[in-house]
Amino acid sequence: MLSVRNLTKRFGTKKVVDGVTMKIQKKKITSFIGPNGAGKSTVLSMISRLILADEGIIHIDDKELSSCKSNDLAKKISILKQSNHINVRLTVRELVSFGRFPYSQGRLTKEDWEYVDEAIHYMELEEMQEKYLDELSGGQRQRAYIAMVIAQNTEYILLDEPLNNLDMKHSVQIMKVLRRLVDELGKTVVIVIHDINFASCYSDYIVALKDGKVVKEGPTDEIIKPSVLKDIYDMDINIEYIDNNKICVFYA
């Protein structure tokens, strides 16, 4: 289990994250929602050690984050940020093979390559695995990055706005993959997401943040309610049931 206690981060004098405490359950999709500047991405970056917390403690499976070796953590938890500009020219297969670095330190064994092939297969990238990343569309590229994370084979997978700049078809595709990762492979997925309808349809648990604090957390059903959403977003949001899914209507 991932647990976070009293997490705080300041940029200058501004508290971006202010005393966040939460527990993230295993084998679930947990979504962080909330308005821009709520500190969602910052919390995710701190959990994945990309940035250091000013205060607070993060535990991964009862071990404190700061006491773990970076390489051991890389086998337990992986993070995919929303902008992934890479300065070197890589093929899809090369990128995915980097996911095995924590295990092989760059010298991939036969077993490592099997993981790479499996990840490529899982994301249905076989046909474009020799293509360079800059030749791919945004959706294909995102799938390649997720394949790399799958090859890394970590229990916890953290994704910062994985649907950013993707069209509906690719967004659904990515969310279905995340769902399968949880249901079939038993991973624990944490995402930052802006589209609350995707959060509503695909996640098990939702943490709502606002002004650096957790305003509400709970199973999806408890969060997707007009009264709760009003607290989070300061706007009236109607909820309709369509095919057993709760759909938020906020366009008009």
Partner 1 sequence: MRNWTKIGILLLAAAILIAVFLFTDVKGSWDYVLSKRTEKIAAMVLTGAAIAFSTIVFQTITNNKILTPSIIGLDSLYMLIQTVLIFAFGTMNSLMGKNVNFFISIALMGVFVGILYKIIFKREGNNLYFLLLIGIIFGTFFQSITSFMQVLIDPNEFMRIQDKMFASFNNINGDLLLISFILIILVTLYFLQFAKYLDVISLGKEQAINLGVDYDRIVKRLLIVVAILISISTALVGPITFLGLLVVNVTYQLFNTYKHSFLIFGSILVSIISLVGGQLIVERVFTFSTTLSVIVNFIGGVYFIYLLLKQRKA
- Residues found near partner 1 in the complex (CB under 8 A): 48-50, 52, 70-75, 78-81, 84-90, 94, 98-99, 101-102, 105-107, 152
Residue placing its CB nearer to partner 1 in the complex, 97 or 200: 97
Query: Least distance in Å: CB of 72 to partner 1?
Result: 8
Closest separation in Å from C-beta 191 to partner 1: 15
Shortest spacing between CB 122 and partner 1, in angstroms: 19
User: Which residues does 50 contact at the CB level (< 8 Å), separation at least 6?
Assistant: 79, 81
| Closest separation in Å from C-beta 247 to partner 1 | 34
For partner 1, the closer CB: 83 or 244: 83
Select 75 or 225, whichever has its Cβ closest to partner 1. 75
Q: Which burial class, exposed, middle or buried, applies to 89 when counting CB atoms under 10 A from its CB (0-12, 13-18, 19+)?
A: exposed
Best CA proximity match to 160, nearest among 147, 172, 176, 142? 142
CA distances from 39 to 50, 119, 210 (A): 14, 31, 7
**Is 37 within 8 Å of 31 (Cβ atoms)?**
no
| Nearer of residues 39 and 216 to partner 1, judged by Cβ | 39
Tokens representing 252 are 């008009």
